[in-house]
Structure 1
Amino acid sequence: MSVEVANETEWQLDPKVFSELGLWVMHQMRVSTQSELTITFVDPEPIAELHERWMDLQGPTDVMSFPMDELRPGDERNEPEGMLGDIVICPWVAQQQAQAAGHSTMEEMMLLTIHGVLHLLGYDHHTREQERQMFGLQRQLLLTFFALHHGTAWSATLPSGSVNELEVYERKYGTNRELGH
C-alpha cells in the first residue's frame, strides 16, 4: 500500500502525516496493502479549474476525489486491491473552513483527507442518511487517529509574508463559489 503526497503550494506541511493518515484509513477500511493513493495539495486556481471541469461548479473547493479502480471497503475475507485514486486538497479553502469551525487548518486538512478517501471508496452525502453515515464515519476515523497519536503536534503553516492565494483568486474571479464535492 502506498500513499504519495505532493505539495504544490507554499504551505509548509509534513507529507508523512498525510501519508500515514491515508495508509491508516485504508487499513481501517480494509483496502488491500497493494492499493495506491495520491494526495495533492494545490492552490485555489488549479482546484477551481478541476471543480469546473469535473463538477461543473465554479470556484475553488476544499477537496476533490478522483477514483481509479472504484474499490470498495473490504471485510475479513476480501480486501480489494488496485489504484484507489487521487485526492486534491486546497489548503486555502481548508484554512477558511477551519477558522469557521474553530479548529486548526491542519485538522481540517486531515479531515478532508479522510473525507476524500471515503469518497474514493464509494461513500457519498447526497441524502441525509448518506451524510449521517459518511460524516459519522469520518469523524470516528479522525478522532481515533488523533487518540492513537495523542500528544503529537502537527502543523501546517505559511512562510512569513506569503500571499493569500484565495484572496488573489477572489480578487481576480470574484467570490462567487459553489461548494459541493
Structure 2
Amino acid sequence: MTTEVINETDYSLDEAEFAALAEYVFDQMHIGSAVEMSILFVDEEEMERLHVRWLDLPGPTDVMSFPMDELQPGRPGRPVLVGNLGDIVICPSVAAAQAARAGHSDIEEMLLLATHGMLHLLGYDHVTDEEERVMFDLQRKLFLTFLAQA
C-alpha cells in the first residue's frame, strides 16, 4: 500500500500518523500493498475552490474524496491487489473548528475525517439512513481500533 501524505498548509501534523492510519484501514478492508492513495491537506481558500468546482457548494468544507478506480473492499483471502483508490483532501482549519465544538483534538478530528474519506473511496456513502448507519458504524470501529492500537 502506498499512501502519499502532502501538507500544503502551515498546520503542523505528523504525516506518518496518517500513513499509518491508511495502512491500518487498508489492512482491515483487505486492500493489498500495491493499491495507491493520497491524502492532501489544504487551506480554506483551496478547499472552497474544490467545494465549489466539484459540488457547487459555497465555502470550505472539512473533507472531500475523489475516487479513481472505484475499488471496493476485498474479503479475507481475496484482497484487492492493485489500483488507485483516489485522493482525500482535508482542510485542517475547518477540522480544528469542528474538533473544538466536539471537544477533542484537531488531530483526532483529522484522523476521523481521513477514515471517513477512505470509506467514501471504497464506495461507502451516507445518503440514506441505512447507508449512514453502516458507514458511520464502520468508521467508528476503524477509527477507535486504530487509536487503541497506536
CA distance in 1 between partners of 2:55 and 2:78 (Å) = 32
Q: State the secondary structure of the residue aligned to 1:40.
A: strand
Summarize deviations over 1:22-61 as a string: whole Å, max 9, x none. 1110111111211001000000010111111111111100
Residue 148 (str. 1) matches residue 129 (str. 2): no
Q: State the secondary structure of the residue aligned to 1:45.
A: helix
Match in the other structure for 2:65: 65
Match in the other structure for 1:91: 92
Match in the other structure for 1:129: 130
CA distance in 2 between partners of 1:143 and 1:102 (Å) = 16
- What's the offset of the Cα at 1:79? 1.7
Match in the other structure for 1:18: 18
CA distance in 2 between partners of 1:76 and 1:139 (Å) = 21
TM-score (norm: length of structure 1): 0.81
CA distance in 2 between partners of 1:22 and 1:7 (Å) = 16
CA distance in 1 between partners of 2:63 and 2:30 (Å) = 23
Number of equivalenced pairs: 149
Structure 1 regions of 5+ residues with no counterpart?
150-181
Q: Runs ≥4 in structure 1, deviation > 6 angstroms?
A: none
CA distance in 2 between partners of 1:67 and 1:37 (Å) = 9
Match in the other structure for 2:101: 100
TM-score (norm: length of structure 2): 0.97
Structural mapping, 1:41-60, within 5 Å = 41-60=41-60
State the one-letter code of the partner of 1:10. D
CA RMSD of aligned residues (A): 0.8
Percent same amino acid among aligned pairs? 58
Structural mapping, 1:23-38, within 5 Å = 23-38=23-38
- What's the offset of the Cα at 1:77? 3.8
- What's the offset of the Cα at 1:76? 2.0
Q: State the secondary structure of the residue aligned to 1:34.
A: strand
Higher strand share: 2
State the one-letter code of the partner of 1:16. A
Larger gyration radius, structure 1 or structure 2 = 1
